[in-house]
Structure 1
Amino acid sequence: MGWTEAATVASLPTHLLTASRDELRHWQWRRLHQLLTTVLPQNPFYTRKYAGLSADAIRDWADFERLPFTTKAELATDQQEHPPYGSNLTYPLQQYSRLHQTSGTSTGYPLRWLDTAESWAWLLRCWQWNYLLLDLRPEDRLFFPFSFGPFLGFWTAFEAAGLMGRFCLPGGGMSSTARLRLLQEHGCTVVCTTPTYALHLAEVATAEGIPLADSPVRALVVAGEPGGGITATRQRLESAWGCRVFDHYGLTEIGPTAMEAVETPAEMLLLETEYIIEVIEVGGERPVPPGQEGELVITNLGRWGSPLIRYRTGDVVQITDKVDSCGRTWRRIVGGVRGRVDDMIHVRGNNLYPATLEAILRRFPEVAEYRIVVDQRGPLTDLRIEVEPRESAAGDLAAAVARAIRDELLFRVDVVVVPPQSLPRFEMKARRVCVVSSSCSATQLRKDTLNCL
C-alpha cells in the first residue's frame, strides 16, 4: 500500500460498518448538528425555508423529522428566482470551485450545483467507501468509456481512484470500437459506465469480433439507470462482459450514496456514515417500514457548501435492515431503484414503472434495443413498445414479447418490431420512454422526433 492509499483509506471509520444502530445514529446526529450549526445561520435558502430556526432548536430525531422536506421543484424555482445558481449557497461565491448540473428531465431544465473544495473532498470520500465495498485492488486499472461533461456522473469516481493511486483511463472523444480496443490494450479491469452503454459496447464487440468476455475486466460498475438492479439486464451484462456487475446509486445534487458490495449482489449498501436515509410512502409523507416500497429521502452530511436536508429524491426503493453476511449493519437498497415517482406510466387503469417493462424485455436475447411510446392524444392513454431485433432474431418476436407482458402484468400492449439499428443508442443515460401528446406536430410524428424522457 502506497502512502497516498494509506492516507485516504485509513481516514475512513471502517469500524462503523458493523456498529450498532444506536452507535451509527449517534455518529449521524453529531454530524447533523455540525451541519445545521453551519448552514442554518448563513445559507439563504434554508434560512428562509426554516424561518430562522436555529440548530439548537432541533433537539432530537423527532424534531428533525418534523422539518419540511426539500423538493427538486422548489430548488428549480429557487434557481429561476436567484439565477444562475440559486440561493442554496452557505458560503460566498468565490469559495466554490466546481460546477455540475443535473440532466433536467424532471424539472424541464437542469439544476446547477456548486461545490467548495471541502465539499468536493467529501464527495471523493464517498467514493473511497464505494471502492472499499467493491474491493478495489492495488493492481486494478479503471476505464471510463465516455466523455466527461457537466454531469457529476463518475467525475468523483475518477478523481477518487486517482487519489488512491490507481491507474485511471478516460475514454472521451472516440468511437465505441476505439474504446473497446483501448480497454484491451491497457488491460483495464474495472469499467464504470451506464447499463445502457455497457450493453451497447457488448453489441459493438460482437459486431467487430472483439472477444469482450475474454478481456481482463473483472468488475463492471453501472449507474445512472435502474438496469444494474434488474435481474434480466444484469444477467445479460454479466454474460456479455464475463464479469461481475456492481450497481451504484447517486444523484448530482446529493452525491454518491450507495454501492453494491462483493458479498451483497443486487443489494446496494447505503453509506450511512455520510447520509441520513429515510423512506416514505409514495405520494405521502409517512415513513414506511423496511421491506416496503417507498420514496427515498436523503440528507447529505458532508456537502455543507450546497447541502440538501430531507430531500425527496423521487426514486422508489425497497430497503432491508437485516445485517449482512459480513456483519455490516448499514441498510441496503434491494433490487436497485424500482422507478421514479414522476416516471410512473398510467395506462387504462394500470400503473407501472418503465423498469418493470425492462425486466421483461431484457429476458429476450433477440431484443437488441427497445422504446416505450406513451400516446396521450386520445381520451385514454395508449402504450406501444417498439423492439429492435438482433440480426439473427427469428420467429414472431412481437407476439412473444406481448404475450410475456400480458402474462406477467395482466394487460395487453401493442408491440411492434422496428428495423435493426433504427433505435437510438446512448452513451450516458438512456431516454427510452417517449410521450406523444396532442401538442406534437405532424412533422414531429413523421420524423419520429418524440419527447423522450
Structure 2
Amino acid sequence: MKTVKKYRFYDFETSLEDYQLHKLNQMLAFIVRQNEFYKEKLTNISIPIQSKNDLASLPFTTKEELIKDQQDYPPFGRNHSYPLQYYNRFHQTSGTSGCPLKILDTKTSWQWWENCWLEVLKSSKVQETDRVFLAFSFGPFVGFWGGFEAAKKLGALVITSGSQTSKDRLQTIVELEATVLLCTPSYALHLVEIAKELNLDLKKTAIQKIITAGEPGGSIPSIRKRIEEAWSAKVFDHVGMTEMGAYGYSCEMQNGLHINESEFIAEIINPDTLEPVDPGDTGELVLTNLGRYGYPLIRYRTGDLVKFDPTPCPCGNTYTFLPGGLIGRKDDMVVIRGINIFPSSIESIIREFDEILEFRIVYYTIDNMDQIKVQIETREPSLKETLATLLRQRIGLRIQVEVVERLPRFELKGRRVLDLRNHVRVV
C-alpha cells in the first residue's frame, strides 16, 4: 500500500496541497503589506486562497513586468519586501533573452536558496565525503552559487575554480581527486576536448557524478550519453532560474525532472489560452516560490515549455514530474516552412556524433522566406551529408549543414543560435 507523505506546518501535519496553500497564504498576507510591486498587482484580490483551483484568481507575473518595473524604479525595482539595507546578496539573469534582471536576496531568502539546492545534491546522492568541483567563474550570474553554499552546508569538500583555464581545472580535478563536477552540459563536453589535447583519460579521474545546469542538455539522452561515456560518470540534471530559485532536479532514473513542490507550486498552461493543458500535452511552466520572502514571485510565467504527464516517476517521488525535462523556451521556437523548430531538438541529433566538436544554428532569409542551416566544427567533414539526412528524417525539414573551421565555446549558457532573419542576406 502506498504511503501518503505528510508535511509539517508549525505543529501539525498535513497533505502536500494543504501545506502549499498554508505557505502561499502566509506569503500573500505578508507581501500585500510589505511588497510595493505585489501590493499593486494584488489589489482587490481576495485572500486566503481556499484551494489550488483558486490560483487562477491571482494574476500572472512576467519577466517583462519585472524588467519594466526596474526601468521605472531603478536600479532594483519594487519587488522587495524589506528595506534595501536588509539585502546582502546580488545576482542578475544572464541576459541571453533580453535585458538582465537585477535580483537581491536577504540572508533568510538566500538560506532558502541553499536548502533548495540541498535537495538537488541529495537527489544526486552527493554525500559529505564527496569532493565537489565547481567549474564556474562566480560572477553575478547565479549559476552554481547555490550549489556552492549547499555543498558547504552538506559538509562536502568544496573546490572552486574561479578564473582558472580549462586546462588548469582539469589538472585540479585530477590532483585533488574531485568526485563530483558541477558545470553546464556544454562545458562538460568542452572539457572532453581539452582532455584529449592533454592526452588525459577522463575515465581514470575520480569524478563519479556530474550535475548540470544552465541548459537542457542534462535531460537530453544523446547529450547525457556523450558526457557519461567520456567521463565514466553519471549525469544528473538540475533546473532553476535566478528570479525563481532552484526548483527542479533529476533522479536515479534520469528520465526527466521533479519539481520541488515543498517549495514551489507548479502549473502547466497553454501559453495562448492561459488555461491548464491536458495530460500528454506540452505547455508553459508557471511557478510560485513559497519561501523567498525577500524576492517573491507569484504565478511566474517561466517561458519554459514542458510536457504535462501526471504519471509519477518510477523512482517513487510523487512530486510533479516533467518527462524529458525542459523541451525548450517558447521564445526559442521558430516556424520554418511550416515546421516548429526547437534548438534543443536539433542539438539532441547533433550530439549523437562524437566527431562534432561544436555547432551553431543559423536562421536567415532568402527571397522573403525564412531558412535554417547548421554550422558544425568537426574532425570528419564527410559526415555533414549523414547529419543532413538525419536532420531531415527527424525534424521533417531539409536543413543545410555547413562545416566551419572554428566555433565559440561556452562556460555558462551556450549561445548557439544566430538569428539573421530580416537583417542580412545569408547564402
Normalising by the residue count of structure 1, what TM-score does the alignment of the two structures yield?
0.89
Do structure 1's residue 102 and structure 2's residue 86 form an aligned pair?
Answer: no
Q: Give the residue type in structure 1 aligned to 2:79.
A: N
Match of 1:241 in 2: 231
Kindly indicate whether the alpha-carbon contact (under 8 Å) linking 1:368 and 1:388 is maintained by their aligned counterparts in 2.
Answer: yes
Q: Give the residue type in structure 2 aligned to 1:85.
A: F
Q: Give the residue type in structure 1 aligned to 2:321.
A: R
Stretch of structure 1 that moved more, 45-54 or 79-88? 45-54
**Pick aligned residue for 1:432 from 396, 408, 416:** 416
Q: Give the residue type in structure 1 aligned to 2:206.
A: P
Q: Give the residue type in structure 2 aligned to 1:49.
A: K
Partner SS state of residue 151, structure 2: helix
Match of 1:50 in 2: 42
Residue 290 and residue 189 in structure 1: after superposition, are their counterparts in 2 closer, same or farther (change >3 A)?
Answer: farther
**Pick aligned residue for 2:105 from 115, 126, 151:** 115
Stretch of structure 1 that moved more, 126-135 or 243-252? 126-135
Match of 1:162 in 2: 152
**Pick aligned residue for 1:35 from 18, 27, 33:** 27
- Separation (CA, whole Å) in 1 of partners of 2:385 and 2:254: 33
**Pick aligned residue for 1:231 from 179, 202, 221:** 221
**Pick aligned residue for 2:65 from 68, 74, 98:** 74
Q: Summarize the alignment of residues 300-449 of structure 1 with structure 2, pairs less than 5 Å apart.
A: 300-376=289-365, 378-390=367-379, 393=380, 396-419=382-405, 422-439=406-423
Match of 1:5 in 2: none
Match of 1:26 in 2: 18
Partner SS state of residue 282, structure 1: coil
Match of 2:10 in 1: none
Partner SS state of residue 268, structure 1: strand
Alpha-carbon deviations, 1:66-116, whole Å to 9, x = none? 21111111111111111101111111111111110001222x210001111
Alpha-carbon deviations, 1:367-393, whole Å to 9, x = none? 111000111464111111101112xx2
- Separation (CA, whole Å) in 1 of partners of 2:290 and 2:119: 15
Q: Give the residue type in structure 1 aligned to 2:160.
A: P
Alpha-carbon deviations, 1:151-178, whole Å to 9, x = none? 1111011011112211000111111111
**Pick aligned residue for 1:297 from 279, 286, 293:** 286
Match of 1:10 in 2: none
Match of 1:144 in 2: 134
Q: Give the residue type in structure 2 aligned to 1:297.
A: V
- Separation (CA, whole Å) in 2 of partners of 1:372 and 1:55: 47
What residue ranges of structure 2 are gaps of 5+ in the alignment? 8-13
- Separation (CA, whole Å) in 1 of partners of 2:399 and 2:123: 41
- Separation (CA, whole Å) in 1 of partners of 2:137 and 2:347: 26
Q: CA deviation at 1:327?
A: 3.1
Residue 153 and residue 68 in structure 1: after superposition, are their counterparts in 2 closer, same or farther (change >3 A)?
Answer: same
Match of 1:11 in 2: none
Match of 1:91 in 2: 82
Kindly indicate whether the alpha-carbon contact (under 8 Å) linking 1:40 and 1:52 is maintained by their aligned counterparts in 2.
Answer: no
Q: CA deviation at 1:23?
A: 1.1
- Separation (CA, whole Å) in 2 of partners of 1:400 and 1:282: 36
Q: Give the residue type in structure 2 aligned to 1:80.
A: Q
- Separation (CA, whole Å) in 2 of partners of 1:356 and 1:165: 38
Q: CA deviation at 1:52?
A: 4.9
Partner SS state of residue 15, structure 2: helix
- Separation (CA, whole Å) in 1 of partners of 2:215 and 2:145: 17
Q: Give the residue type in structure 2 aligned to 1:403.
A: T
- Separation (CA, whole Å) in 2 of partners of 1:213 and 1:232: 18
- Separation (CA, whole Å) in 2 of partners of 1:378 and 1:231: 37
- Separation (CA, whole Å) in 2 of partners of 1:165 and 1:400: 48
- Separation (CA, whole Å) in 1 of partners of 2:374 and 2:408: 14
- Separation (CA, whole Å) in 1 of partners of 2:231 and 2:184: 14
Match of 1:221 in 2: 211
Residue 415 and residue 16 in structure 1: after superposition, are their counterparts in 2 closer, same or farther (change >3 A)?
Answer: farther
- Separation (CA, whole Å) in 2 of partners of 1:388 and 1:324: 37
Kindly indicate whether the alpha-carbon contact (under 8 Å) linking 2:361 and 2:375 is maintained by their aligned counterparts in 1.
Answer: yes
Q: CA deviation at 1:138?
A: 2.5
Q: CA deviation at 1:326?
A: 4.6
Match of 2:55 in 1: 64
Residue 376 and residue 306 in structure 1: after superposition, are their counterparts in 2 closer, same or farther (change >3 A)?
Answer: farther
Residue 149 and residue 378 in structure 1: after superposition, are their counterparts in 2 closer, same or farther (change >3 A)?
Answer: farther
Q: CA deviation at 1:42?
A: 1.9
- Separation (CA, whole Å) in 2 of partners of 1:437 and 1:331: 38
Alpha-carbon deviations, 1:415-446, whole Å to 9, x = none? 11112xx1000111110000114445x9xx89
% identical aligned pairs: 42
- Separation (CA, whole Å) in 1 of partners of 2:146 and 2:367: 45
Do structure 1's residue 171 and structure 2's residue 161 form an aligned pair?
Answer: yes
- Separation (CA, whole Å) in 2 of partners of 1:62 and 1:115: 30
- Separation (CA, whole Å) in 2 of partners of 1:345 and 1:16: 43
Kindly indicate whether the alpha-carbon contact (under 8 Å) linking 1:316 and 1:337 is maintained by their aligned counterparts in 2.
Answer: yes
Partner SS state of residue 160, structure 1: helix
Q: CA deviation at 1:270?
A: 1.0
Q: CA deviation at 1:48?
A: 1.1
Q: CA deviation at 1:212?
A: 0.5
Alpha-carbon deviations, 1:275-334, whole Å to 9, x = none? 000001133301013432111000000111111000000001124333344532112221
Q: CA deviation at 1:128?
A: 1.4
Partner SS state of residue 331, structure 2: helix
Partner SS state of residue 77, structure 1: helix
Q: CA deviation at 1:130?
A: 1.5
Q: CA deviation at 1:399?
A: 1.1
How many residue pairs match? The answer is 418
Q: Give the residue type in structure 2 aligned to 1:53.
A: I
Partner SS state of residue 209, structure 1: coil
Kindly indicate whether the alpha-carbon contact (under 8 Å) linking 2:312 and 2:321 is maintained by their aligned counterparts in 1.
Answer: no
Partner SS state of residue 276, structure 1: strand
